[in-house]
Structure 1
Amino acid sequence: MKQRLIALILLFILIAPAATLYFYMQFEKSAIKREIKWKMIAGLDKKELVVLKFTKTETKTKLRWEHSKEFEYDGQMYDIVSTEMKGDSIFYTCWWDHEETKLNKKLKKLVASAFDQNEENQRNQQNFHNYLWSFFCNVPFKWQAKQPQQIVLVCENEMLATIFDSLQNSPPTPPPKIS
């Protein structure tokens, strides 16, 4: 029973920081949304609004909807102020939500680092793995015995030539008898 309790406590210690950070980011995100709603109610300047044009099929494929009045397009968050339909096109007058975009990027980075999916970290791990494997011989060593090559000595002195020739000759067969 004591070991299970210790295991649960250690598991909680490992999970608590990531979970706390995730919930804090979600809380901050909802606070920013409330602040934006109050800004919209107070009236936004027309210069701060962006008009985006999409076809009906693009609204289903290119946009990731948070809810009916908020979507993500090309990694940027937009809050819809008004919608206008003309034929097959839909015009959204939106407020470009820079704070929520920044918060979403921060949240994605935290989740990626928590699950070790950071591209730079993975590349560094692969380089380290390759470095370690470079210390081991990957291809087996193949050694074959070859016959010795004849050494040809060119000497001007005949006496030296006979000494070298006697050194190159193989030993006499059968071996000499020692008395």
Structure 2
Amino acid sequence: MKNATAFFLLFIFSFNLGGSYVIFKIQQHQIRREIIHQIKKGISEKDLTRITVSSENENQLIWKDREEFSYKGTMYDIVHVEILNENTKVYHCISDSQETNLIAKYNKELQKKRKDKNNRTNSVKTVKFLQKINPLPQKEEVAFSNKVIRPNYVYHENYASLSLEISSPPPKQVL
């Protein structure tokens, strides 16, 4: 039972640290499978985006793998390549708007988390929550306040000390 609890807590904490990245990768993989399936089924030429790349604008392409790249903030999957000359290629691509939106959403969440981390809003929320549970002493309750602290129980009224004083004379011996 203890092992199961420890494993569960370990899973929760590790998911908290990297769970959003794992979910992002699973969704990205699923979108890529759908695009590959769509390419295998066949896409008409009118649905494809043509991107002409020469040596001048080649550095604007950010390659993810050999069949996928980002151009001007949009993800594209290559269906086929047409080579015009040694410096110019035309990529016939399908625009991958789902993956573009997914990456944009993930980057936005990362920036939000970094901003939250920098502002320490999470720790402020934690402190406020803890103050609701166990409020900290306010200014009036500090050690140098004018309030008189009264004990819950008065001990000196119920205390009887042991004393050696003789309350009566010793008894007389009778013979």
TM-score range, shorter chain: 0.5 to 0.7
Question: Matched residue pairs, number?
Answer: 112
1:43-82 alignment runs, 5 A limit: 43-56=42-55, 58-59=57-58, 61-82=59-80
% identity of equivalent residues: 29
2:30 is the counterpart of 1:26: no
Distance 2:15 2:55 in 1: 43
Give the match for residue 42 of structure 1.
41
**Partner SS for 1:116:** helix
**Partner SS for 1:83:** strand
Give the match for residue 82 of structure 2.
84
Deviation per CA, 1:55-109: give whole Å up to 9, x if none. 13532x1111010100001110000011111122110000000101100101111
Give the match for residue 134 of structure 1.
none
Q: CA contact under 8 A between 1:53 and 1:91: conserved in structure 2?
A: yes
Tell me how far 1:14 sits from its aligned partner: 6.5
Code of the aligned partner of 2:78 = I
List gaps (5 residues or longer) in structure 2: 1-8, 122-175
TM-score normalized by the length of structure 1: 0.55
Distance 1:99 1:84 in 2: 25
Code of the aligned partner of 1:65 = W
1:1-179 alignment runs, 5 A limit: 16-56=15-55, 58-59=57-58, 61-87=59-85, 88-116=87-115
Code of the aligned partner of 1:116 = K
**Partner SS for 1:115:** helix
Deviation per CA, 1:98-157: give whole Å up to 9, x if none. 101100101111111122289xxx9xx9xxxxxxxxxxxxxxxxxxxxxxxxxxxxxxxx
Tell me how far 1:19 sits from its aligned partner: 1.4
CA RMSD of aligned residues (A): 2.7
